[in-house]
Amino acid sequence: MEKIYDVIIIGAGPAGLAAGSYAGRARMDTLIIEKDKDGGQIVITAEIENYPGGVDEESGPSLIGRMAKQAEHFGAQKVKDTIVDVELEGDVKHLKGLKGDYYGKTVIIATGAHPKPIGCPGEKEFTGKGVSYCATCDGSFFEDFDIYVVGGGDSAVEEAMYLTKFGRQVTLIHRRDQLRAAKSIQEKAFANPKMKFMWNTTVEELKGDGILTSMVVKDTVTGETREIVANEEDGTFGVFVFIGFEPHGELFEGKVEMKNGYIVTDDNMKTNIPGVFAAGDIRVKSLRQVVTAAADGAIAATQAEKYIEG
């Protein structure tokens, strides 16, 4: 058998990197496995204002860069590989990657989740330049601008109401003629004077030159399309997408307890499998933010240490 690590962390987003720092500080033999680039969702955020102690003009990449450097400083090793299968039962966990096999006494799953995209032309190009998936992250950047929110469920309506703190006007775009959100939430939204509703409408295309300046919408009843253009003085507007999340949890189906694609843990990040923990956006939780992901990672690493000692 190859080397057995004390802890293997799958994913190098805020949760995984925080876990790597705490595990390394505890002098555990730590390996972080990331299939792509460090950072997860946060690397698409141009500016971060709500991370405690962040520096001026903090960006997703700059914050993640410091987190990665810190984990490395504390001795966490890192490899780039895609894990394709896992064997989590027993005292030694076995992770199978495209490039090799990895063995650990404990595993911290920090594979994250990503917002469901609209899937229209221009969406990817203007993400972080007018298009956002996080109201608490980016709402303040659109103070006194027009804001559009795509979705009709609880999250979309709640986030739209939150965005009325910033936007001159917030318009909810929904593909049906009524919301899916709870009635109590709908009542608050309909009573909010800064809220407007665009029924039976889908976003077909997002346009601009460097930043978002217009969008094409379609009436799902008549099939007609029209273009909404940014206020001339503003030059842009915000489009916030809340049509659900897609957790990166397919690999763990049938291996650990899951709910709607997310991993179920207790408050100590423990799954139902001894020695296996989950942290960050992949787990069932109420708030998915950088600060909560980092906290999850710290707890998971601390609990992994206790598990090994026990």
User: How many angstroms separate the CA atoms of 245 and 164, rounded?
Assistant: 23
Catalytic one of 38, 138, 146, 281: 138
User: How many angstroms separate the CA atoms of 119 and 8, rounded?
Assistant: 34
Of 259, 261, 263, 246, whose CA–CA distance to 88 is shortest?
A: 263
- β-pair type (258-259, 262-263): antiparallel
Q: Is 138 a catalytic residue?
A: yes
User: How many angstroms separate the CA atoms of 97 and 38, rounded?
Assistant: 18
Containing 22, the helix (H) or strand (E) segment is helix 14-25
Q: Is 120 a catalytic residue?
A: no
Catalytic one of 36, 85, 120, 134: 134
User: How many angstroms separate the CA atoms of 196 and 88, rounded?
Assistant: 49
Catalytic one of 6, 85, 120, 137: 137
Q: CB-hemisphere CA count at 13 Å for 288?
A: 25
Q: Is 137 a catalytic residue?
A: yes
Known catalytic residues are 134, 137-138
